[in-house]
Structure 1
Amino acid sequence: MSFYTSLSGLQAAQTDLSTISHNLANVSTNGFKKSRSEFADVMASNFTSDPRRMVGSGAVLQQNRQQFSEGSLQTTGNSLDLTISGDGFFAVKMPNAVGTQAYTRNGAFSLGTDRFITDTQGSRLQAYAVETDGTVPANSKLGDVQVPLTSGEATPTTAVTLKMQMNAAASVPTVTPFNAADPSSYNTATSTSIIDDQGKVTTLTNYFVKDTPTDPSGATSWTMYSYATGVGLNNGNGTKVTFDGDGNMTAPQGATALNFNPPAGGTARAITFDLSGSTAAKQPFAVASRTQDGVAKGEFSGVAVDESGVITASYSNGDSVKLGKVALANFVNPTGLKQNGGNYWTSTGLSGTATMGTSNENGYGKLMSGTIEGSNVDITEELVNLIAAQRNFQANSKALDTASQISQTIFNIRA
């Protein structure tokens, strides 16, 4: 009997060593929760047994209890690195199991190639749909979070204003005729970003060539050539811009039309170009103001998650679009969750079904962006436990050896 009792002790010590080793192996695993092996004694008895004479029959593993204390927090600066300070789990949809929802404390999320917010294993973060103000409607359901590439509707440019100061003392270019590729054939150039009919940003460049002076009063004349996407507007013909001797602009009067015939795929249209308020002086060329009325589609520029869990995408046109609110899961008995590996848990009958909620509400933990929760394994504590488990193993092996020697002694008794 003592042989099997010692053997159960060896098995218990081996299980304890395995648990501790597993904890130590995951000391650097984000969101990992350590376990503790708990054992119970084995007693063989029946209703006729005298309790004063009962002898135990060894030990048995009662449970490997998971420890859900919070791990250390590490600041990363990545807005999609999320941590739950307190109770709760992130809900994710696993990629290789259709419809299967898992739970994790590892909040290292990022944008996948398909622009879904996913973890390192491709599981998609689950969130509630929200209104434009970030509130969750009563009938909101959980779903994946996908970031749109663009935001807003594009409006092509129809009008440009440019107020500038021309250098009246500039010399006439030595190279003629005008050639946009040769800086020696023009005096100065200025560029304005405009929106084409496809909603893309393109560049309108205006080149100014000073004409040979003929007016003794000091009046100056310039020819303006306009190009966009390498195409000359008004078929490459220039527009005369003149100033009197006091530097006041005399032509053109009001806005002029620039007929833009874009390359294949675009639509021909006219852009009104207004130089009103421009002057000429014996000073370097300068632009006082510049406007255009087009609106480009916003290009995705970043994503952020606030403390309440609202996910907001930002775009180059200034738009901010709220995409969802991070869902958090909680359980009546978290220690009953099934460990699936990969930092995932799934619910069981022992844990109960998940109760869903959001950050810092109704007992759920507070969401933190830009941080990662590390493992809750304490190396010093585990090493001390390792020494104790080793001694338990050695003691049980010694008891087993003693039982074996006693048995051998009995076998050697001769009549």
Structure 2
Amino acid sequence: MSFYTSLSGLQASQKEMSTISHNLANVATDGFKKSRVEFGDVIASSANSNPSAQVGAGVVTKSITQQFGQGNLIQTGGALNLVVSGDGFFATKGTVESEQLNYTRNGAFVVDPNRYVVDGNGGHLQVYPVDGSGAVVASGVDGLVSLRLPETSGTPVPTSAVGLGLTMNAGAPLPSGAFDRFDASTYNNATQTTIYDATGNPLTMTSYFVRTQAPTAADPASQWQVYTYVGDEQLAADPANPAPITLEFDDTGALTAPATPTQFAPFTPAGAAAEQTVSLDFTGSAQLAAPFSVNTRSQNGAAVGKLESVNVSEDGTVRASFSNGDSKALGKVALANFFNPTGLRQLGNSYWAATGVSGQPTLGEAGKDGFGGLMTGIVEGSNVDITEELVALIAAQRNFQANAKSLDTSNQISQTIFNIRG
């Protein structure tokens, strides 16, 4: 009987050492939760057994229990690196179409080539959809969606009006020679304005300013001609006679003409399919004894915004910012919790699955209804304490040695009995 008792002790110690070794092997695994072996003694008895004469029959492994204490918090700075401070798991799906939910504490998320937010295993982070104000518009498991980052935002608006408020230099000379935009000596100043075509592509509108009349005693007015180009095409009110705009200033430097915006004839930008009409307004311009400058510049077109950054707030709201100034809420990170987390089934890769022992998940939002808060730029490391595990490993090793010694002693006794001779 003592053979089997010692053997059970050896098996128990070996299982404990295996569990500790597994903990130590995953000391650097993000989101890993250590396990602890629990044992129970074995008593062989019957109804007629004398309680004071019972001898134990060894040990059995009752359970290997997962320890879901908080792991170390590791600063990363990544906008999509998340950690649950408190109770809760991130929910993921292997694919967009998958119905199987996996749960993890490893929040090291990245963006895949299809713009889905995924973990290191390719699992899609699950969020609740939100409206424009960021309020959740769905609930439950069926309401979860895979978080995907949009590539663009907004609707392109072609530029139809440009405004320039200028200071023209009252002491500027009259250039010599006919205007040639490739010869800077034939014009006084130039300025560029970015406008947009019907698809939101940026275009460069360049206006060249040529002084054609300086004030005299007989005529105190001052005149400038403005040649405007988009690409290689000159804009004009009459394409058949592409004349420049004439700016006139009185002796006080006030703009007297044109009194209204100049409407150019429709033109088709290079590479665009649709015609576009643009007006140019110089309201607010003046001629002063000062260098040429652009005081105000405006245009009413809009480009499609390109994704620039993503951030996640403490309540789990994922918000994207775009190059056109748009900011859009994309969803709210869903957290899952269980009434008995130790009953979750380990799947590997810091994944768990629900079981009948753990119960079905309760889904919710960070910071509400008992769920922990979210922090960004941080991931949760393993909750394994190396010192604690090494001490436990030494104790398990000594337990193994003691049981091995007990087994050896039983063997020696048996051998002595076998060697007895009458």
Q: How does 1:11-410 map to 2 (within 5 A)?
A: 11-95=11-95, 98-137=98-137, 141-173=143-175, 177-180=179-182, 182-211=183-212, 219-234=221-236, 238-259=244-265, 260-410=267-417
Aligned AA (1:50): N
Moved more, 352-361 or 333-342: 352-361
2: CA distance, partners of 1:222 / 1:196: 28
1: CA distance, partners of 2:96 / 2:413: 56
Tell me how far 1:107 sits from its aligned partner. Answer: 1.3
Aligned AA (1:148): P
Partner of 1:413: 420
Tell me how far 1:174 sits from its aligned partner. Answer: 6.3
Tell me how far 1:103 sits from its aligned partner. Answer: 0.4
1: CA distance, partners of 2:233 / 2:77: 45
User: Is the contact made by 1:219 and 1:246 (CA closer than 8 Å) also made in structure 2?
Assistant: no
User: Is the contact made by 2:181 and 2:208 (CA closer than 8 Å) also made in structure 1?
Assistant: no
Match of 1:270, SS? coil
- The normalised TM-score by structure 2 is 0.89
C-alpha distance 175-351 of structure 1, shift in aligned 2 (>3 A) = farther
C-alpha distance 237-341 of structure 1, shift in aligned 2 (>3 A) = farther
Moved more, 349-358 or 19-28: 19-28
User: Is the contact made by 2:96 and 2:124 (CA closer than 8 Å) also made in structure 1?
Assistant: no
Tell me how far 1:289 sits from its aligned partner. Answer: 0.8
Tell me how far 1:230 sits from its aligned partner. Answer: 4.6
C-alpha distance 184-71 of structure 1, shift in aligned 2 (>3 A) = farther
Coordinate RMSD, CA, aligned: 2.5
User: Is the contact made by 1:337 and 1:346 (CA closer than 8 Å) also made in structure 2?
Assistant: yes
Match of 2:226, SS? strand
C-alpha distance 49-291 of structure 1, shift in aligned 2 (>3 A) = same
User: Is the contact made by 1:178 and 1:209 (CA closer than 8 Å) also made in structure 2?
Assistant: no
User: Is the contact made by 2:166 and 2:294 (CA closer than 8 Å) also made in structure 1?
Assistant: yes
Aligned AA (1:207): Y
1: CA distance, partners of 2:46 / 2:213: 122
1: CA distance, partners of 2:279 / 2:131: 39
2: CA distance, partners of 1:175 / 1:121: 70
> How far does the alpha carbon of each residue in 1:293-351 deviate from its partner, in whole angstroms, 9 at most, with x for none?
12222222222222222222222233222222211111111000011111100011111
2: CA distance, partners of 1:43 / 1:175: 114
2: CA distance, partners of 1:191 / 1:332: 65
Match of 2:277, SS? strand
> How far does the alpha carbon of each residue in 1:37-74 deviate from its partner, in whole angstroms, 9 at most, with x for none?
11112223334433333322222211111111112223
> How far does the alpha carbon of each residue in 1:173-195 deviate from its partner, in whole angstroms, 9 at most, with x for none?
56764134x54554322222222
2: CA distance, partners of 1:142 / 1:158: 43
User: Is the contact made by 2:247 and 2:258 (CA closer than 8 Å) also made in structure 1?
Assistant: yes
C-alpha distance 261-60 of structure 1, shift in aligned 2 (>3 A) = same
Moved more, 125-134 or 164-173: 164-173
1: CA distance, partners of 2:227 / 2:275: 18
2: CA distance, partners of 1:41 / 1:114: 55
Match of 2:369, SS? coil
User: Is the contact made by 1:233 and 1:261 (CA closer than 8 Å) also made in structure 2?
Assistant: no
Tell me how far 1:237 sits from its aligned partner. Answer: 5.3
Moved more, 396-405 or 153-162: 396-405
C-alpha distance 276-398 of structure 1, shift in aligned 2 (>3 A) = same
Gaps of 5+ in 1: none
C-alpha distance 139-373 of structure 1, shift in aligned 2 (>3 A) = closer
> How far does the alpha carbon of each residue in 1:86-141 deviate from its partner, in whole angstroms, 9 at most, with x for none?
11111111239932110011112222221222112211111112232222236671
User: Is the contact made by 1:145 and 1:323 (CA closer than 8 Å) also made in structure 2?
Assistant: yes
2: CA distance, partners of 1:122 / 1:229: 46
1: CA distance, partners of 2:408 / 2:210: 105
Tell me how far 1:35 sits from its aligned partner. Answer: 0.8
Match of 1:179, SS? coil
2: CA distance, partners of 1:173 / 1:66: 85
1: CA distance, partners of 2:25 / 2:9: 24
Aligned AA (2:379): I
User: Is the contact made by 1:157 and 1:293 (CA closer than 8 Å) also made in structure 2?
Assistant: yes
C-alpha distance 414-172 of structure 1, shift in aligned 2 (>3 A) = farther
1: CA distance, partners of 2:97 / 2:296: 58
